Chains A and B, each alone.
Chain A
Amino acid sequence: MSAAADVDLRVFADYDRDVREEADVVVVGSGPCGAVVAKELTDAGLRVLLLEEGPPFTPADFELDGPLSMARTLREGGLRTTLGTVMPTMQAICLGGGSLVNSAICVRAPEFVLDRWCADFDLAQTRRADLDPHYDAVGEFLGISPTPENVLGPRNLLFKKGCDALGISSEPISRNVRGCRGSGECFTGCRSRAKQSMDISYLPAALHGGAKVLSSVRVEEVLVEGRRAVGVVGRVVAPFTGRPGFAVQVRARRVVLAAGCMATPVLLQKSGDLANGSGQVGANLQFHPGVAMLGVFPDPVHPQFGATQGYQSLHYLREGFKLETLWAPPAVLAVRMPGSGFALKQRLARVPRSAVWDAIASCNRSLGSVRARSRGLDPKLTWSLHEDDVPILAKALHTLARIFFAAGAQTVLPGVHGIPEELCSLAEAEVLRTRKFRASEFLTGGNHAFCSTRMHGDASRGVVDEFGRCHDLEGLYIADTGIFPQCPSVNPMWTGMALAHRLAGRIAAGG
């Protein structure tokens, strides 16, 4: 028997008729949360069927050019933006979800954040001590560990140098990576197969355990009988074009939605405004709006070498921001360079001497919504950066400027309208601290999204309970970052997976 016959994975070219399946549990979405649920429930002996709209990518399918890679692996070609405060945001469409194209950052939610969640959202068992066993289980499976020093490269080490000089605490980022070679290609797919994305970690384990994985299936509706979810229906769709084909129906005793914070609410709304007794489905959308700064150093930084995001500072978490190093495909970074013509070329020529560092902000006052469009399943995202959250971004950028200059940078490019495009000294960077900015003056990106199906102990104020069980319907669960009641202040993947791990345990135990 060939290795391929050992597992039940279906890809687009394999479908030749309508699909009808039955399972104990159907999981919608193969990202980090859905993959954990699928594997854990398979291990528990349940018949699990996982549906994913995107195709599996092999390394031969990876596109080295950043924008073209984004067009292939991200929904809406990677050009999704919010309305209100216009901000690009992303959601993957591929087997393994965002884990295929993220930088593998794993950070446990801070204790003070989880304490606040419990206090403000009537949660009893979501403190750090409650989640630590689940963080540990996921961490052990994926080999989550700090980025080794030999693949940090100058770009990450300069950040450490700047932080050390200022007495700002910093640390190598823990990642779900084994054998990183420092290619800096996390965002376009790891050709070294070092990043433990779901397609090469949790999903193979689930498949070996007996799970069925159907890729290229778009779920369009959750089936309900009485007050119980009993399955899903959808269509086989062609990779990239989304052209619909054969019908798919899966009946299951339990339905776990892990389609992501921006897709799960749309699916519920398209299913007849399901599970929305609280009125919270699609509401409360939050992001970690991010700002980035580029610093130019006198000597080559060789920014293409090193872990994509290898160093971070959690020093300012309580003040509302986290600092990180960053590398992305050169084309994507070059987009941030100001100017045009020869001045632009002059700046682009300095990229080899440049490092990019970013900040993600906790903006709990900045809220938005996810709404289904009249046609299709792409969400309409509305979100506005609250005036009172703007100073957080300004302070984060000012802090990055301080770190850059402490590390020896000659100049920094803040990417903020209304101030000089380049700041050549700490004195010039003071403008970031003293000026009153408007939201539209920042170039922000929102890569982590939360809260669109939030958990709440009170069924009238949340969509699910703290274990991910829907308040309104039996047999319906949500396992993605939409259930976070507020932003976690740090990268959300590990927390989402820990919550998914806990949910799987509950389902396996009959809960």
Chain B
Amino acid sequence: MWFWLLGAFALGYAIARVTFGYPRPARRFDSLLRSEVAFLAGAGEATFPAGGDIPASGLDADLPAYTDRLLTAAHPRMRLLMHLLFFLVEHATIVFPAPGRRGWRRFSALDAEQRAAVLEGWRTSRLFPRRLVFASLRAILTMGYFAFPPVLRQLGLAPYEIPTPVCEADLWTPRIGASRSSVRRSRADLTPPSDGTPIPLEAPLHPAYRKGAR
């Protein structure tokens, strides 16, 4: 009897923990669940807090939005693995709780210091699989952070605007998804190939990375 009661309680707690209490995101995501948006926002803030050597924070960089794009583009098996990764770190606080009060709460419900401590625990673990989980999560977050144009601009790493010569293959290759009949170029559109002039460091940035682009 006690066994069943305990089991029912555990099941109820698990369902509540996984399902309820996540805020509704401000916008629609193609691949991320509501719980994952909350998790990524929390993990992003812990990994890239506001201030420091690069002012932009993980929150500024909108890491859930980037991760959603990445997930949508990912191979189905990898997409599943990424969902599992987020779930694992979100709920592994039951096994590896954060220091301080109620450290067993789900990751996204912890306060900022506790989240940072949890991630540090994964990063410095003696267990290789835990370090691997951390490395995978941080890789996703870092990729999103570095997709944020202000970060790249501050570091001087934003892509340049580069004029692209029209070569012969461009006369018959349509953009992906279009048919060949959509290609309107003729030989008259060919331009001289690159002459090998080095790109100057002060060259204008690609429009998508200029100030105000995002």
Contact = CB atoms under 8 A, between A and B. Distances in A.
A39 to B, nearest CB: 14
A77 B74 contact: yes
Contacts of A66: 143
Given A86-B132, A337-B142, A180 B194 contact: yes
Please classify how large the interface on chain B is, using the bins under 10, 10 to 19, 20 to 34, 35 or more. Answer: 35 or more
B186 A193 contact: no
A157 to B, nearest CB: 13
Interface stretch (B6-14, B19-27, B33-41, B197-205): B197-205
Given A55-B176, A192-B165, A192-B194, A340 B46 contact: yes
Contacts of A7: 172
Nearest to A96: B169
Given A12-B177, A13-B178, A193-B164, A3 B172 contact: yes
B142 A335 contact: yes
Nearest to A95: B173
Interface string A324-367: 00000111101101011110111011011000000000000000
A191 B206 CA distance: 12
A182 B172 CA distance: 27
B47 interface: yes
A329 B195 CA distance: 24
Interface string B162-196: 10110111111111111111010111000001111
Given A11-B174, A11-B180, A204-B168, A150 B198 contact: yes
Given A71-B74, A179-B196, A192-B165, A57 B176 contact: yes
A160 B139 CA distance: 31
Contact of A305 (B69, B152, B167, B201): B201
A508 interface: no
A9 B172 contact: yes
Interface in A70-123: 71-72, 75-77, 79, 86
A379 B203 CA distance: 43
Contact of B173 (A56, A68, A240, A344): A56
Interface string A396-439: 00000000000000000000010000000000000000000000
B78 A68 contact: no
Given A2-B186, A334-B146, A9 B173 contact: yes
A14 B138 contact: no
Nearest to B48: A345
B153 to A, nearest CB: 11
A204 B116 contact: no
A466 interface: no
B29 interface: no
B193 A179 contact: yes
Interface string A140-152: 0000000010110
27 contacts: A3-B185, A3-B187, A13-B174, A56-B169, A56-B173, A58-B173, A58-B175, A67-B143, A72-B73, A148-B196, A178-B194, A178-B196, A183-B159, A192-B165, A239-B177, A240-B176, A300-B156, A304-B156, A331-B145, A332-B143, A334-B146, A340-B119, A341-B48, A341-B49, A342-B53, A351-B155, A417-B131
Report, nearest first, the 3 A-B pairs whose CB atoms are least far apart: A179-B194, A331-B146, A349-B53
Interface of B: 46-49, 51-54, 69-70, 73-75, 77-79, 81, 116, 119-120, 123, 128, 131-132, 135, 138-139, 142-143, 145-147, 152, 155-157, 159-160, 162, 164-165, 167-181, 183, 185-187, 193-199, 201, 206, 208-209
